[in-house]
Amino acid sequence: MRKIRKKKLSAENQIIKAYRLILGRTPNKEELSIAKKFLKAPNGHRDSFEVFIKTLFSLNEFIYLG
């Protein structure tokens, strides 16, 4: 996560970089839109980006290689 947040990237570029590092691909338009909304929403978490990263790691796409 530090690798993604280390540089001064926009939220969109952080999302794209996370997808590339974790899933090996870029997010589609819908995924990007959902991720942006999630990161902007007040959700009670100190660091919603950390929750977002953990969510990517829990996806079946990450767990099972196709």
pLDDT in tens, 40-56: 887 666 688 889 999 99
pLDDT tens digit string along 17-34?
A: 999 999 999 999 999 999
CA distance 18 to 11: 11
Domain that holds residue 9: 2-63
CB 19 within 8 A of CB 56: yes
Number of domains forming the structure of the chain: 1
CA angle 16, 21, 25 (to 5 degrees): 60
Single-letter residue type at 64: Y
Confidence (pTM): 0.81
Q: Check residue 7 and report its DSSP letter.
A: S
